[in-house]
Amino acid sequence: MNPATLYTVLVIAIVFEVLGTSAMQAAQHFTRLTPTVLMVLCYAVAFFFLSYALRYIPVGIAYALWSGLGIVLISIAGYVVFGQKLDLPAILGLALIIAGVLVLNLFSKSTFH
């Protein structure tokens, strides 16, 4: 399968995971029905696409990308949507995660190029 297609599938999984996590925040301990249902649906879609990507991408690489990009995106969503502030150490840590994702994709022979 085309590597670009595989990474697109993985990115779709990551986006839905971030949407699900954002909905979890909005669900307020499952006390709000609409965000709770949205969370379950988003996680189902996310795991469907992740499982498809795992057919071709090594689990360690896929999970590193899933978790790394997910952390960065959910931090941005927390800041933009929920007004959660990030201090300098948090921003530096997120920059290191981005650097790690770039190293995996640009230099690792375990990924598709």
| Structural domain boundaries, residue 70 | 3-107
The pair of three-digit structure tokens given for residue 12, joined into one six-digit string? 């779709």
- Residue 27 inside a domain? The answer is yes
Residue 106: per-residue pLDDT: 84
Q: Give the Cα separation of 11 and 4 in Å (integer).
A: 10
Number of domains in the chain: 1
Give the three-state DSSP class for 100: helix
CB 62 within 8 A of CB 105: no
Q: Dump pLDDT digits (tens) for 11-49.
A: 999 999 999 999 999 999 999 999 999 999 999 999 999
Q: What is the pLDDT, as a whole number, of residue 112?
A: 60
pTM for the model stands at: 0.86
Residues in the chain: 113
Mean pLDDT score of the chain? 92
Ordered DSSP codes for 7-27: HHHHHHHHHHHHHHHHHHHHH
In a domain, 113, yes or no: no
Per residue in 45-99, pLDDT (tens digit) is: 999 999 999 998 889 888 888 999 999 999 999 999 999 999 999 999 999 999 9
